Homo-oligomer: A and B are copies of this chain.
Amino acid sequence: MDVLGKSRTYTFRVRYAETDQMGIAHHSNYFVWFEEGRSNFCRDIGLPYGEWEKNGVFMPVVEVHCRYKSSLLYDEPVTMEVFPAERGAATVTFGYRLRHEDGRLAAEGWTKHAFADEQGRLIRRETDFIRRLKELTFSDKSSADSFKPAQTDAE
């Protein structure tokens, strides 16, 4: 999976509730972590996802994939890399890599998202808001500062 936009890195620890009786983090939680990474990513480029929904733009998940390489354990510090990976006409794909503290790859995955309105209907037309979202997401120099003037210009 190619890294098209700037990659950002977050760390977290595996919660006890996220383990299962095999003694490892349950595989369904990886998608919750990916989502938290995406959420941090959007906040950090100056576009908190909460703002999207207030603008009537929802980002439902349309497809996901994950490959598990090495189990993650309770309380283990995990490093998660988040990056924009594909920019479709009506979709955007994020990629993720999870690593143990020593740098070994624990898992890698991706999630593909559509843009939808509040009723869940796909937004196929690229609105100003979505264009800016995509530009910002895939820009190497993305920042809240570079975004705000653009927003002003458009109004």
In contact, A20 and B22 (Cβ under 8 angstroms) = no
How far is the CB of A63 from the nearest CB of chain B, in Å? 5
Q: Which residues on the B side are within 8 Å of A13 (C-beta)?
A: 39
Q: When the two chains form the complex, which single residue of B17, B62, B67 contacts A26, counting CB atoms closer than 8 Å?
A: B17
Is there a chain B Cβ closer than 8 Å to A147's Cβ? no
B22 near A60 with CB under 8 A, answer yes
In this complex, how many residues of chain A approach chain B with their Cβ under 8 Å: the count is 39
**A120, B35: Cβ atoms closer than 8 Å:** no
Residues of chain B within 8 A (CB-CB) of A62 are 67-68
Q: Which of the 9-residue segments A1-9, A43-51, A98-106 touches chain B?
A: A43-51
A150 at the interface (CB under 8 A from B): no
| Bound Cα distance from A120 to B23, whole angstroms | 9
Please name all residues of chain B whose beta carbon is closer than 8 Å to the beta carbon of A60 when the two chains form the complex. Answer: 22, 24, 68, 71
Residues on B with C-beta less than 8 A from A19 are 20-21
Note all chain B residues with C-beta closer than 8 A to A35: 15-17, 28
Cβ B15 vs Cβ A32 within 8 A: yes
Contact B32 A21 (CB under 8 A): no
Question: Which residues of A line the B interface, CB within 8 A?
Answer: 13, 15-17, 19-24, 26-29, 31-32, 35-36, 39, 43, 48-50, 53, 58, 60-68, 71, 74-75, 111, 120
Q: Which 7 A/B pairs are nearest by Cβ-Cβ distance? A: A19-B21, A28-B31, A27-B61, A17-B32, A21-B23, A65-B65, A63-B67
